[in-house]
Structure 1
């Protein structure tokens, strides 16, 4: 019988997590930040350019088009 030290259990990682480690955290932060900025930009665009204006312009363009 062999003695096994249980104070420091062996941690098994997948190959990808062992390669990437904590380097993937900044990449994730940049992606989440980019998505948040895109959502905020579309929200601000919606405040300053409501959808009603777009619908009215589209209706005017359709009426002006020859049949």
Structure 2
């Protein structure tokens, strides 16, 4: 069984943008402009980006395992 986003280039790009955005040191004004342009290019880009951002947020809320 494959995940719904396997081999989805838009999902992969969205996930890459979310990861890049997390790195505040390298996510500068040109990167923000490039992301904004990518999001405007296609409504699907915004949808996948929003999904990826929610996943990133949820993953950050999962407590780390300790004592193993």
Q: TM-score range with shorter-chain normalisation? A: under 0.3
- Higher alpha-carbon Rg: 1
Higher relative contact order (CA 8 A, sep 6+): 2
TM-score with structure 2 length normalisation? 0.27
TM-score with structure 1 length normalisation? 0.27
